[in-house]
């Protein structure tokens, strides 16, 4: 299928910068459908001759109520673009060695299989395997940390040797076991599952150009390196090296590195490590390992050579290794490395070119979020976007820093009049800084006070366009259209101070030197102080109405929302998304982290620590009606809802369904109608509790009468302290 050709616009009318002084009157306003259909998850691959670009995007198809992958071919000379196909899944776009086109995994109805795409747009199957395992949140499916509809897997992963003579790939095989009584850890492992677990094996295979094939390893799907990264393969002249996660009954433990030999057609162990490898990070131009070291103004980029000598590229206002950045590349001669980076203040994604001992940053007003470059790194094509600029393709020359606009990737979003967005950095009462942005009301007028909503999710407040990673089902742009001051606020960055970094490390690894009380203060209460102090600043400036302040966040953000409303009295409404961490019911999730935070299980001498932080144990202190929107019915979330209602606090918990009764919605909602409904529910919730308004765009179903009844039964206990 070759699709229909059309010319992409050559001239883009909107500036990429976020710090505009006013919302434009030219163009239309945002809609829920605009947010749902924002393209995301771009994967770019340049043809070796540099004349064309293949790229994949993920986008919601509202009419079919599904999220699809769309494959495009762009002629870089004429900028003529063709849509090649739409499929439930298309991924892992790679250039075929020798300039023959591209390879990629596509599900065209027979499971995810390996295909070839040529420069004319013709697709054919390269390798096909029986798709016997379904991955996703469905009955009989293998659970995986991913968002999207369940999918059948023929080929799970693939990679080519540099000369194109060898194909490395992974597939999944069922691992049926007798149905037995689950005992102890096997029961605990199902703590948050609605579906009976299944097991599967990952087969790592290698295939020669003549079609001969060898099974390299067979691994349980619990091996994250095998399942998610195909063994993290690296090619050498003697054969591929790969890595496996060795835990449980395996005696060695940690991460094992192995080498498969072209000559012997067998593997041997060549290394052992204790920490999970940095996936995708390349070596430096001096052959050493690259790292961002230090904190705050002393954060520096370094390269450590094999002999232990360290090259210091100096203090940098960014760090490397962020999985959200554009990627990493090394020139064939190894003398130049191009790395994706994330900045500390005014968070966004850029690049840094390393040659010799010199670092040349390429930081734009917006973000470069996906790229591919020629092998010599002379130039490449990137996706550029920002909070008020829809994704577009740009031509990038790393050596000079020159960036030239090519074409819009979503012309429909270019017709929206941009809202005013400004970057901010707030310092809280303890001296910790948090970054973020304010999206201003469309018709903002100075000396008028507005309702405000804080939206938070870890560190995802950055220069990306309506990113679901940050705003989930909280339609930030529509809140601004309705007259809210929208504050997108990050957690205080652990990279600003060593003690805060140590706290996060302790939380992930188990109890340590800082102790539970200090962890609770640094990771949760510190964040609440940041919210309070940012709001207080805006109140003192006459911008925000202190009696109309809301807060929303999912996942990590749901932790902060639940803690904020049980520790602070400044919030008047809240929405918490698909979370239940910190609740006693989630003690085993995993218990090492709970021991670091609380000191032990929710009993005995440790119970007081839970009373100090666990939201359900502090429901009587809540001053804000709380909405919870769930993809899964977590016990901890239900406990929080029940405790709120017992305390007569207005609360609602909404569980969103999967495609069928046998499937579930995912943590990042992938079903368009669910996203639309959840966004409208959030708009209506905050409008009702902050503005006393019934939103006519929400299908009623008796919702407003229930909310009115809860409001009538509620006697808020909170006195304003601002």
CA distance 395 to 379: 7
CA distance 2 to 119: 10
In the numeric block, the tokens 């995007």 are attached to: 57
Whats the size of the chain, residue-wise? Answer: 722
CA distance 381 to 404: 10
pLDDT for 3 beyond 70: no
Structural domains in the chain plus CATH codes? 419-713 (3.40.50.1820)
- Other Cβ atoms closer than 10 A to 293: 13
Check residue 5 and give its pLDDT. Answer: 37
- Name the DSSP class of 657: B
pLDDT for 619 beyond 80: yes
Check residue 12 and give its pLDDT. Answer: 33
Contact 284, 313 (CB under 8 A): no
Count of helix runs (H) and strand runs (E) in the chain: 15, 39
546: its two tokens: 């202190």
Q: What is the pLDDT of residues 316-328, one digit of tens each?
A: 999 999 999 999 9
Check residue 720 and give its pLDDT. Answer: 57
Instruction: State the burial class of residue 452 (Cβ atoms within 10 Å of its Cβ: 0-12, 13-18, 19+).
Output: buried
Over residues 290-298, the mean pLDDT reads: 95
- Other Cβ atoms closer than 10 A to 611: 13
Residue 315 CA: distances (Å) to CA of 295, 310, 320 = 10, 14, 13
Residue 425 CA: distances (Å) to CA of 144, 346, 487 = 36, 8, 11
Instruction: State the burial class of residue 366 (Cβ atoms within 10 Å of its Cβ: 0-12, 13-18, 19+).
Output: buried
pLDDT for 23 beyond 80: no
CA distance 529 to 207: 56
Check residue 248 and give its pLDDT. Answer: 54
Over residues 47-75, the mean pLDDT reads: 97
Residue 348 CA: distances (Å) to CA of 181, 273, 485, 537, 585 = 50, 32, 21, 24, 37
CA distance 539 to 185: 50
119: its two tokens: 């420069």
Q: What is the pLDDT of residues 351-386, one digit of tens each?
A: 999 999 999 999 999 999 999 999 999 999 999 999
CA distance 502 to 522: 10
pLDDT for 172 beyond 50: yes
Check residue 147 and give its pLDDT. Answer: 79
Contact 344, 317 (CB under 8 A): yes
pLDDT for 717 beyond 80: no
pLDDT for 251 beyond 90: no
499: its two tokens: 């003690």
User: Predicted confidence band at 626 (pLDDT cuts at 50, 70, 90)?
Assistant: very high
pLDDT for 128 beyond 90: yes
CA distance 127 to 117: 13
CA distance 663 to 140: 10
pLDDT for 631 beyond 80: yes
H or E segment at 533?
helix 526-540
Over residues 622-632, the mean pLDDT reads: 97
Q: What is the pLDDT of residues 210-240, one digit of tens each?
A: 999 999 999 999 999 999 999 999 999 999 9
Maximum separation of any 2 CA atoms in the chain, in Å? 79
pLDDT for 467 beyond 50: yes
User: Predicted confidence band at 11 (pLDDT cuts at 50, 70, 90)?
Assistant: very low
Least confident of 10-24, 80-94, 425-439, 600-614: 10-24
User: What is the overall mean pLDDT for the chain?
Assistant: 93
Contact 550, 690 (CB under 8 A): yes
Over residues 651-665, the mean pLDDT reads: 95
Percent of the chain whose predicted confidence (pLDDT) is above 90: 86
CA distance 560 to 669: 20
Check residue 721 and give its pLDDT. Answer: 45
Write the secondary structure of 304-360 as one string of H (helix), E (strand) and C (coil): ECCCCCEEEEEECCEEECCCCCCCEEECCCCCEEEEEEEECCCCCEEEEEEECCEEE
Q: Could you tell me which of 515, 528, 483 has the C-alpha nearest to residue 595?
A: 515
Residue 618 CA: distances (Å) to CA of 359, 393, 624, 699 = 50, 49, 13, 32
Over residues 411-440, the mean pLDDT reads: 98
Query: Nearest 5 degrees, angle CA 304-CA 308-CA 314?
Result: 35
Check residue 371 and give its pLDDT. Answer: 99
pLDDT for 252 beyond 60: no
CA distance 531 to 221: 40
- Name the DSSP class of 586: G
- Name the DSSP class of 625: -
- Name the DSSP class of 19: B
Over residues 526-538, the mean pLDDT reads: 99
pLDDT for 279 beyond 80: yes
Instruction: State the burial class of residue 446 (Cβ atoms within 10 Å of its Cβ: 0-12, 13-18, 19+).
Output: exposed
Q: Could you tell me which of 23, 37, 12 has the C-alpha nearest to residue 438?
A: 23
**Residue 590 neighbours by CB under 8 Å, 6+ apart:** none
User: Predicted confidence band at 8 (pLDDT cuts at 50, 70, 90)?
Assistant: very low
Check residue 213 and give its pLDDT. Answer: 97
């Amino acid at each position: 299928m070759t699709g229909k050709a059309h010319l992409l616009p050559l001239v883009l009318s909107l500036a990429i910068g976020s710090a505009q002084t006013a919302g434009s009157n030219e163009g239309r306003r945002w809609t829920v459908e605009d947010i749902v259909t924002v393209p995301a998850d771009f994967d770019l691959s340049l043809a070796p001759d540099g004349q064309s670009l293949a790229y994949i995007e993920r986008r919601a198809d509202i009419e079919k109520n599904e999220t699809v992958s769309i494959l495009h071919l762009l002629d870089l000379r004429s900028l003529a673009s063709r849509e090649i196909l739409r499929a439930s899944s298309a991924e892992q776009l790679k250039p075929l060695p020798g300039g023959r086109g591209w390879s990629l995994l596509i599900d065209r109805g027979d499971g995810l299989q390996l295909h070839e795409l040529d420069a004319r747009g013709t697709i054919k199957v390269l390798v096909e395997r029986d798709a016997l395992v379904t991955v996703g949140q469905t009955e009989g499916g293998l659970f995986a940390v991913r968002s999207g509809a369940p999918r059948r897997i023929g080929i799970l992963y693939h990679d080519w040797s540099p000369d194109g003579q060898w194909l490395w790939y992974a597939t999944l095989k069922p691992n049926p076991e007798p149905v037995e009584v689950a005992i102890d850890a096997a029961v605990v492992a199902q703590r948050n599952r609605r579906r009976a677990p299944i097991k599967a094996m990952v087969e790592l295979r290698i295939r020669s150009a003549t079609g001969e094939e060898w099974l390299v390893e067979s691994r349980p799907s619990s091996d994250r390196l095998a399942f998610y990264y195909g063994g993290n393969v690296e090619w050498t002249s003697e054969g591929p090296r790969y890595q496996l996660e060795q835990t449980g009954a395996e005696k060695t433990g940690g991460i094992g590195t192995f080498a498969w030999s072209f000559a012997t057609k067998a593997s041997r162990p060549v290394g052992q490590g204790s920490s999970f490898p940095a996936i995708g990070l390349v070596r430096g131009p001096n052959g050493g390992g690259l790292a961002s070291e230090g904190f705050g103004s002393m954060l520096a980029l370094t390269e450590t050579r094999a002999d232990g000598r360290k090259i210091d590229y100096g203090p940098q206002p960014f760090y490397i290794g962020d999985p959200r950045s554009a990627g990493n590349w090394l020139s064939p001669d190894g003398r130049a490395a191009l790395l994706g980076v994330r900045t500390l203040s005014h968070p966004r994604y850029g690049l840094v070119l390393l040659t010799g001992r010199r670092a040349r940053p390429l930081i734009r007003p917006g973000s470069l979020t996906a790229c591919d470059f020629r092998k010599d790194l002379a130039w490449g094509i990137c996706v550029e976007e920002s909070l008020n600029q829809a994704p577009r393709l740009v031509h990038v020359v790393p050596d000079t820093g020159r960036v030239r606009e090519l074409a819009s990737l979503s012309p429909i979003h270019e017709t929206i009049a941009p809202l005013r967005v400004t970057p901010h950095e707030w310092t809280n009462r303890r001296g910790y800084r948090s970054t973020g942005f304010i999206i201003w009301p469309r018709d903002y007028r100075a000396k008028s006070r507005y309702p405000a909503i804080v939206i938070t999710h870890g560190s995802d407040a950055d220069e990306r366009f309506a990113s679901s990673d940050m705003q989930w089902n909280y339609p930030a742009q529509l809140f601004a259209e309705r007259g809210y001051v929208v504050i997108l606020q990050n957690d205080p960055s652990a990279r600003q101070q060593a003690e805060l970094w140590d706290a996060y490390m302790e939380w992930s690894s188990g109890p340590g030197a800082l102790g539970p009380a200090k962890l609770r203060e640094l990771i949760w209460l510190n964040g609440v102080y940041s919210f309070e102090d940012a709001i207080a600043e805006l109140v003192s400036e006459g911008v925000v109405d202190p009696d109309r302040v809301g807060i929303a966040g999912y996942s990590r953000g749901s932790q902060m929302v639940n803690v904020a409303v049980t520790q602070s009295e400044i919030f008047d409404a809240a929405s918490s998304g698909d979370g239940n961490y910190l609740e006693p019911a989630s003690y085993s999730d995993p218990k090492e982290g709970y021991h670091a935070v609380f000191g032990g299980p929710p009993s005995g001498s440790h119970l007081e620590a839970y009373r100090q932080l666990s939201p359900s144990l502090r429901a009587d202190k809540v001053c804000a009606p709380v909405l919870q929107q769930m993809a899964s019915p977590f016990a901890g979330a239900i406990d929080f809802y029940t405790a709120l209602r017992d305390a007569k606090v207005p609360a609602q918990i909404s569980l969103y369904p999967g495609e069928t009764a046998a499937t579930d919605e995912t943590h990042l909602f992938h079903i368009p109608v669910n996203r639309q409904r959840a966004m409208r529910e959030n708009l209506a919730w905050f409008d009702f509790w902050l503005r006393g308004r019934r939103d006519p765009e929400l299908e009623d179903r008796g919702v407003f009468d229930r909310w009115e009844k809860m409001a009538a039964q509620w006697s808020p206990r909170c006195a304003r302290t601002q």
